[in-house]
Amino acid sequence: MTSSEESPSFRLAYVPGATPAKWVRIWNERLPDVPLTLVQVSAAEASDVMRGGEADAGIVRLPVDRTVFSAIPLYTETTVVVVPKDHVVTAADEVSVDDLADEVVFHPLDDVLGWEQPPGEPAFERPATTADAIELVAAGVGLLLVPQSLARLHHRRDLTYRPVVDAPQSSVALSWPEDATTDLVEDFIGIVRGRTVNSTRGRTAPQAQAKRKQPDAAAGRQKPAGKKPAAKKSTGRNPRSGSGGPKGTGRGKPRRRS
């Protein structure tokens, strides 16, 4: 028996910047008797939390170890550069990596963009977290490149951001341990994929198919009563002759006299 069957609840991990609220709302509407618990984790912790059974699935950042986890990509985020509001970068609607070549760009230890060396001049040391790097940007000592959701998460009135058109991007996915695809995980997959409550996909398919077959089976056992077609009355006439006599004796076309 799986943990989800032993305890009628579903635990969903999610990383900073992910917004599972819409899916949680649909879950609560469809499965009101199965509480969904959100587990906030860092991007680096997500895999260990799911592997250790502390969450049934997670909204995580790719990549994940595909030998251990299944994953359904959800969306890819725009990368932005976070800058003070009075920075020269704000004069443009978007920038390129080359535009930042002369800037100090922070590379926090919890970076999720996956590059070995960000553009620009490296800072004296790497901030421990994205939140720490945001504080340094606000102090006017450098810039920071992050997925747009993290820029929004750490929003400050004295900071703004611009898209970086050629920077690496971060993709977000629904992931879960491949050997622990429970019924509740299948339910959440259906919600994320936009299946309706009456969808025949997933674990509910056999039940739906059975419901569709029931009327057909009933029809096979008892056909609906109907009126028999009325028998045609015999007139005694041969339909080919046009008269009641034997074939060939009835009136035909008049013959022309010679």
Domain regions of the chain by residue span:
3-76+171-203, 79-168
Whole-structure pTM value? 0.73
- Per-10-residue mean pLDDT of the chain, 258 residues long, equals 61 97 96 96 96 97 96 97 96 96 95 89 93 97 97 97 96 96 96 82 45 46 52 50 46 49
CA geometry: angle 84, 152, 162, nearest 5 deg: 50
Same fold, 3-76+171-203 and 79-168: yes
CATH match for 79-168 among 3.40.50.620, 3.40.50.920, 3.40.50.720, 3.40.190.10? 3.40.190.10
Q: Are the CB atoms for 174 and 71 separated by under 8 Å? A: yes
Q: Is the CATH number 3.40.190.10 carried by domain 3-76+171-203? A: yes
pLDDT at 58: 98
Phi, psi torsion values for 162, nearest 5 degrees: -135, 145
Using CA atoms, how far residue 47 sits from 6, 52, 177, 253, in Å, is 23, 8, 9, 97
Strands 69-77 and 170-177: what pairing?
antiparallel
